[in-house]
Amino acid sequence: MESLRWSRILAVVAFVLLLAEGFGQAFMYTWSGEPFRSLQVQVWSPYGLVRNNPRLTSPEFKHTAQFLRSTRTFDEHKPPRTLRVLLLGASVLYGAVTPTKNTRDDEARTRNDETIDAYLEEMLRADPALAGVNIEVINAAVSFNRYVESATAYMDEYVFWQPDVVVVCGSYNNIGEDPDAGVYDARKGRLMGRHPWQIQFDREVNDLTFAGFVGRGVRTLNDSSAAAALLVKGLDKGIDTAFRAVGRVGDTLFPPAPTPLKPVASPAEIGRLADAMLGYVNAMIALAHHHGQEIAFYWEYLHGDIQDFAAEGGDPRTRYTRLAMQQAGDDLIERRRHAHYYYLDRLRSVLTEANTPFVDPFAEFVASKERIFVDYLHYTPAGNRLAAQVIHDRLRPIFKARAERLRSEPPAPTESP
């Protein structure tokens, strides 16, 4: 009798689990339009720490088997008479954000046809100067990437994809806002500090403790069961919501004291941080020139840069967000202005000396009357379209020259019947 009772209990548990899994699979298919495979956005990589997960199940975010943000695959060996443009960058280029209080619900998830690469490819195909050549624009962005990860990915793999033009997008993930004293020697800060994914990587890959074993088990279960993936996702959101609610109550009952500003990095230290950033820039330029590829750098401005200048005009170095000024006072604004524009000017100078195009969208973004930011940095679809337009217009002479050279290539051989 005892064994019969436990058999019934196990049968009921198995039935409930199968029912939950069936519901999860049906929900995922209804939501995404495809069978469940995984809700993990990234997978671990031999370089660059993470890459886009090809098995991600999502109605908006699509990845190819080559880890690209795209709905179509590309042949690693570039076809004849093909103008191939490679875009490297992070979340701005990828087209996804973590929703904040400034983010509208319908803007947090950007579809593949609303990203910079999609708009740029459409513009290049419509450009009469490029007639007669095939157009490919490849989005190799991974959220949280810095120049470190972009340079490594380019050197290790994408340079061998034979892109004609490489556009490296970035700024904020490399420089941050307000470097503190000592960050260079301590190897901290945005560019030199530990990557946001490194802690999770160490926990799930290198941690040999029981906790690490459990973490790997949970990740495996997430990639094997729709019900488990939805449960974990729901628990994550529930915990985040609970912590935010508790935080708001705590701030109301016990208002936090103003955080004192840390000592500011000296001009010499900021110069060393800029040199670290420019080392990756120079490495990518050298590699591109060695392989006969054109390379350009696109600067991702903060919303505050555009917002304040559009409202008041003048020198952008004297305009920063009023919100930040109200919250932290002039000292923080001075620190941000000092570092941000120093990095920008150093990059512009290095690119000018190397005869490398610098795609600066500042004027176009200021003149735009559309909502082009969803938060402090990331773009709406209208912002992505405008960024693509700026890249197209600034680099059009390069695209045109490459197309003229490509048109002289022999066509791809046709297979005999």
CA 163 – CA 182 distance, rounded (Å): 39
Per-residue burial over 229-255, b = 16 or more CB atoms within 10 Å of its CB, e = otherwise: bbebeeeeeeeeeeeeeeeeeeeeeee
Kind plus residue range of the DSSP H or E element containing 218: helix 210-222
33 in a domain, yes or no? no
**Could you report the per-residue pLDDT of 137-191, keeping only the tens digit for each?**
999 999 888 999 999 999 999 999 999 999 999 988 887 666 777 887 888 777 8
Length of the chain: 417
Q: Does any domain span residue 31? A: no
Is there a domain that residue 16 lies in?
no
CATH code: domain of residue 280: 3.40.50.1110
Q: Which domain holds residue 339?
A: 60-193+262-406
Residue 329 lies in a domain: yes
Q: List, in sequence order, every residue forming a beta bridge with 373; answer none if it has no partner.
A: 379
* Full pLDDT tens readout for the chain, 417 residues: 566 677 877 888 888 888 888 888 888 878 888 888 888 888 877 666 788 888 888 877 888 888 888 888 899 999 999 999 999 999 999 986 654 444 454 455 677 888 999 999 999 999 999 999 999 999 999 988 899 999 999 999 999 999 999 999 998 888 766 677 788 788 877 788 777 777 777 777 777 777 777 777 877 877 888 887 888 888 877 887 887 787 777 777 777 776 666 676 777 787 888 899 999 999 999 999 999 999 999 999 888 777 756 555 555 554 443 433 343 444 444 455 556 777 888 899 999 999 999 999 988 998 898 988 888 888 999 999 999 999 999 999 999 999 999 998 777 666 544
- The C-alpha atoms of residue 46 and residue 214 are separated, in whole angstroms, by 23
Asked if residue 400 is part of any domain, the answer here is yes
Q: How many domains does the chain have?
A: 1
